[in-house]
Amino acid sequence: MRRHGPEGFMARLAARDERYNALVQRLGGRARPAAAPSRALRLQVTAREHVADDVVALRLEGDGPLPRWQPGAHVALRLPSGRRRTYSLCGDPLDRAGYRVAVRRLGGGSAELHALRVGTELLVRAPRNGFPFAGEPEVCFVAGGIGLTALLPMVVDAHRLGLRWQLVHVGRSRGSMPFTAELPPGDVELRVGRAGPPLLAHVSPQAAVYLCGPASMLDDVRGQLGGRSLHHERFVPPPVVGGRPFVLELGRSGRRLAVPADRSALDVLLDARPDYPVGCRQGYCGTCTVDGVRVCVERPDGGLLRLGSL
């Protein structure tokens, strides 16, 4: 039976994710293992804490034990306004009573999360993991600003497992860097600004590198990798380079929206419909798909993108 309303939407979203994962794996692509089957959970904000400049941490709890997750996992939150946003789990994976997310204030969705009060209920899609930690014997973690959220549970795991690990965390100021007091004792470099020696200058040539940070940091590290392996996750899509402007036509209303050369159709659609479903914004999760089109990455050849169902 087809379920309606937000819970029905989340259930259909979860089913689509699972079909996408199965297809990718059948085609021999990189597995994106889910820590638990994706389904909608109704969770309550039970605590909020200011953990760095412009960063709030929220604790989310349900009625009983929550689905398990592994370091690198994220959840998708449906906010009271209808917006959907994705956040890395940055608490303790062994804590089944609650999840922790930490949100840097940027635009409309994160501002809404900053304003949430204890007691607010949210629909949350169960954890999925596109950035699993393989636990190599030597590991270097490189975090840019809020990117530490995805890496913190890996650092704790690496320490617990007795691996040789290092962390380079770069922030625009010390006050902007969350969770520094929670880092286990070890080889931790906290860097203010990007000046200084190359990020991997003091990293063993055998180390596996795990990075979560902006595109410029990823480019820098790729240039210094040598023979090291790289695992990374991005919170923001790479900038659109060499794009051409086009028109997005919404078939149902006939509305036409101009998409500039440096923006995606999804960005422009979100201006008009803030509650349009959004996930990775990078073309891999399928959340924004309509009429078979991944709106976050699609750029038509002919100057017109028509989405009949919108």
Binding site residues, ligand FAD, CB under 6 A: 74, 85-88, 101-104, 106-110, 146, 149, 233, 235-236, 280
Within 221-280, which residues bind ligand FES (CB under 6 A)? 278-280
Rounded to a whole number of angstroms, the minimum distance from the CB of residue 298 to ligand FES is 9
CB 151 within 8 A of CB 177: no
What does 158 bind: ligand FES, ligand FAD, none (CB cut-off 5 to 8 Å by kind)?
Answer: none
What does 110 bind: ligand FAD, ligand FES, none (CB cut-off 5 to 8 Å by kind)?
Answer: ligand FAD
Residue bearing tokens 């949100």: 103
Rounded to a whole number of angstroms, the minimum distance from the CB of residue 86 to ligand FAD is 4
What does 20 bind: ligand FES, ligand FAD, none (CB cut-off 5 to 8 Å by kind)?
Answer: none
Q: Which amino acid is at 235?
A: F
Rounded to a whole number of angstroms, the minimum distance from the CB of residue 278 to ligand FES is 5
- Measured CA to CA, the distance from residue 307 to residue 285 in angstroms comes to 19
Rounded to a whole number of angstroms, the minimum distance from the CB of residue 187 to ligand FES is 35
Residue bearing tokens 């497992």: 161
Which residue minimizes CB distance to ligand FAD?
A: 107
Q: Return all residues near 32 (Cβ < 8 A) that are at least 6 apart.
A: 21, 24, 128, 129, 130, 284
- Measured CA to CA, the distance from residue 185 to residue 155 in angstroms comes to 10
Beta-bridge partner residues of 125:
40, 76
Q: Are strands 40-52 and 121-129 parallel, antiparallel or unpaired?
A: antiparallel
Rounded to a whole number of angstroms, the minimum distance from the CB of residue 200 to ligand FAD is 22
Size of interface with ligand FES, in residues (CB under 6 A): 12
What does 125 bind: ligand FES, ligand FAD, none (CB cut-off 5 to 8 Å by kind)?
Answer: none
What does 283 bind: ligand FES, ligand FAD, none (CB cut-off 5 to 8 Å by kind)?
Answer: ligand FES
Cβ nearer to ligand FES, comparing 17 with 112: 17
Rounded to a whole number of angstroms, the minimum distance from the CB of residue 128 to ligand FAD is 9
CB 151 within 8 A of CB 179: no
Maximum distance among all Cα pairs of the chain, rounded to whole angstroms:
60
Question: What is the separation, in whole angstroms, between the first and last Cα of the chain?
Answer: 24
Cβ nearer to ligand FES, comparing 104 with 281: 281
Rounded to a whole number of angstroms, the minimum distance from the CB of residue 236 to ligand FES is 12
CB 240 within 8 A of CB 263: yes
Residue bearing tokens 């009271």: 80
Beta-bridge partner residues of 50:
56
Rounded to a whole number of angstroms, the minimum distance from the CB of residue 260 to ligand FES is 19
- Measured CA to CA, the distance from residue 121 to residue 242 in angstroms comes to 42
Q: Are strands 293-294 and 289-290 parallel, antiparallel or unpaired?
A: antiparallel
Cβ nearer to ligand FES, comparing 129 with 166: 129
Cβ nearer to ligand FES, comparing 167 with 280: 280
CB 92 within 8 A of CB 59: no
Cβ nearer to ligand FAD, comparing 107 with 198: 107
Within 277-306, which residues bind ligand FES (CB under 6 A)? 278-281, 283-288, 294, 296
Residues that bind ligand FES (CB under 6 A): 278-281, 283-288, 294, 296
